[in-house]
Chains A and B, each alone.
Chain A
Amino acid sequence: MYRITAVVMFLGLFLSAATWAYSSQPIYPEVTSGEEFAFPRDHGSHDAFRTEWWYFTGWLETADGDPLGFQITFFRSRPEMATDNPSKFAPQQIIFAHAALSDPQTGKLIHDQRIGRAGFEIIEASQKDADVSLLDWQLTRTATGVFASKVTGQDFALDLKMEPSQIPMLNGENGYSRKGPKPSQASYYYSVPQLKVGGSVIHGGKKLAVTGRAWLDREWSSDVLPENAVGWDWTGLNFDDGSALMAFQVRGADGDAVYAGGSFRSAEGKQIILSPDDIQFKPRRIWTSPETGADYPVEAEFVVRLDGEWVRYHLEPMFDAQELSGAFTPTYWEGAVSTSGGRGYLEMTGYAGKIAL
Chain B
Amino acid sequence: MTSVKQNVQSGLIWRWLFIGQLRAFPFRYIFAALSIAIGIALGFSVHLINASASDAFGDAVRNLSGSSDAQVAGATNLGFDEQLYPRIYRLAEVADVSPVIEMSAIFGGTGERVKLIGIDPFRAAAITPTLLGRQENSGEQSAGRTGGQTAFPINAVHLSDAAFTLSKAKAGELLKIRANGATHEFQVAGDLPGIEAGQAVAVIDIAAAQWRFDRLGVLDRLDIKRAENSTQSSLARALEKMLPSDARLSGAENEIKKRTSLSRAYRVNLEMLALVALVTGGFLVYSAQSLSAQTRQQQFALLRILGLQKNSLQRQLLLEGLALGLVGSVLGIILGYMSAYLILTIVGSDLGGGYFSGTPGPIDVTITAVFVFLGLGILTAMSGSFSPGRRAARLHPAQAIKASTGSLQNTEHPAWLPGILLLLIAGFLVWLPAIDGLPIFGYLAVAAVLAGAIWLTPWLARTLLTPLTGIVRRSVAFDLALHHILRSPAQAAAALGGIVASVGLMIAMVIMVSSFRTSVDNWLESILSADLYVSGGFVETSFDPDQQKQISQLPGIAVVEFSKTMNVSLDPRRPPVNLIIRPVQSSNYRLSLIDTTKQDIAGIPIWISEPAARIYDLQVDQNIRLPIGARGTSVYVAGIWSDYARQQGALVMESEDYDKLTGDFERSELAISLQDPENVDAETERLKRQIGNIAGSDPEISNAAGIRNIALQLFDRSFAITYGLEAVAILIGMVGVGATFAAQVGTRIKEFGMLRHIGFGRRKIIAMLAYEGMLLGLVGLAAGVASGLAISQILVHVINPQSFNLTMNTSIPYIVLLGISAALLVTSGLTAIFAGRRAAATNALRAVKEDW
Contacts and interface: CB of A to CB of B under 8 A. Distances in A.
Contacts of A122: 86, 89-90
A45 B140 CA distance: 28
B142 interface: yes
A89 interface: yes
B283 interface: no
A120 B210 contact: no
Interface string B138-169: 01111001100011111110000000000000
Interface string A117-157: 10011100000000000010000000000000000000000
Between A22, A328, A355, the greatest number of chain B beta carbons within 10 A of the residue's beta carbon is seen for A328
Contacts of B90: 122
Interface in A313-356: 325, 327-331, 353, 355-356
A295 to B, nearest CB: 17
A12 to B, nearest CB: 6
A343 to B, nearest CB: 31
A77 to B, nearest CB: 11
A27 interface: no
Contacts of B96: 135
B216 A87 contact: yes
B208 interface: yes
Given A89-B207, A327-B142, A13 B86 contact: no
Contact of B211 (A85, A94, A325): A85
Contact of B122 (A88, A116, A329): A116
A19 to B, nearest CB: 9
Nearest to A114: B122
Given A116-B122, A117-B120, A117-B122, A87 B142 contact: no
A17 B90 CA distance: 33
Interface in B100-147: 120, 122-123, 125, 135, 139-142, 145-146
Contacts of A91: 154, 205, 207
Contacts of A94: 122
Nearest to A81: B154
A151 to B, nearest CB: 15
A13 B150 contact: yes
Interface of A is mostly: loop
A106 interface: no
Between A9, A14, A325, A330, the greatest number of chain B beta carbons within 10 A of the residue's beta carbon is seen for A9
Given A327-B146, A353-B141, A86 B211 contact: yes
B207 A87 contact: yes
A224 interface: no
Interface in A5-27: 9-10, 12-14, 16-17, 20, 22
B142 A116 contact: no
B140 A356 contact: yes
A115 interface: yes
B100 to A, nearest CB: 11
B150 A10 contact: yes
B455 interface: no
Contact of A116 (B120, B140, B156, B211): B120
Interface residues of B, number: 35
Interface string A296-311: 0000000000000000
Nearest to A9: B142
Interface string A84-108: 0111111100100000000000000
B187 interface: yes
Contacts of A90: 154, 207, 211
Between B83, B122, B152, B210, the greatest number of chain A beta carbons within 10 A of the residue's beta carbon is seen for B122
A88 B154 contact: no
B141 A17 contact: no
A82 interface: yes
Given A89-B120, A116-B120, A330-B142, A16 B153 contact: yes
Interface string B166-197: 00000000000000000000010000000000
A17 B153 contact: yes
Nearest to B101: A89
B139 A120 contact: no
B152 to A, nearest CB: 7
Contact of A20 (B145, B151, B153): B153
Contacts of A81: 153-154
Interface residues of A, number: 35
Nearest to B227: A136
Contacts of A85: 154, 207-208, 211
A86 B216 contact: yes
Nearest to B156: A17
A89 B219 CA distance: 11
A354 to B, nearest CB: 8
B532 to A, nearest CB: 38
A122 B90 CA distance: 8
Contacts of B210: 87-89
A17 B154 contact: yes
B132 to A, nearest CB: 11
Contacts of B206: 87, 89
A356 B120 CA distance: 24
B151 A121 contact: no
Contacts of B152: 13
A90 B123 CA distance: 14
Contacts of A86: 211, 216
Contacts of B211: 85-87, 90
Nearest to A356: B141
A152 B150 CA distance: 23
B85 interface: yes
A117 B99 CA distance: 12
B544 interface: no
Contacts of B716: none
Contact of A17 (B89, B120, B140, B155): B155
B348 to A, nearest CB: 38
Contacts of B151: 10, 13-14, 115
Interface string B190-228: 000000000000000111101100001100000000000
Contact of A13 (B123, B140, B155, B207): B140
Contacts of A9: 140-142
B340 to A, nearest CB: 44
A355 B217 CA distance: 38
Contacts of A16: 153
A179 to B, nearest CB: 20
B82 interface: yes
Between A13, A20, A116, A121, the greatest number of chain B beta carbons within 10 A of the residue's beta carbon is seen for A13
Interface string B706-729: 000000000000000000000000
Given A14-B153, A115-B122, A117-B122, A20 B142 contact: no
Interface string A70-82: 0000000000011
A356 B139 contact: yes
Given A88-B82, A331-B145, 17 more contacts: A10-B142, A14-B151, A81-B154, A85-B208, A87-B208, A87-B216, A88-B217, A89-B99, A89-B120, A91-B207, A115-B151, A117-B120, A327-B150, A328-B142, A329-B142, A331-B141, A355-B141
- The 4 closest A-B CB pairs, nearest first, are A17-B153, A120-B86, A87-B210, A87-B207
Interface of A: 9-10, 12-14, 16-17, 20, 22, 81-82, 85-91, 94, 115-117, 120-122, 135, 325, 327-331, 353, 355-356
15 contacts: A9-B141, A10-B151, A13-B135, A20-B153, A82-B154, A85-B154, A85-B211, A86-B211, A88-B82, A89-B120, A115-B122, A116-B123, A121-B86, A122-B89, A122-B90
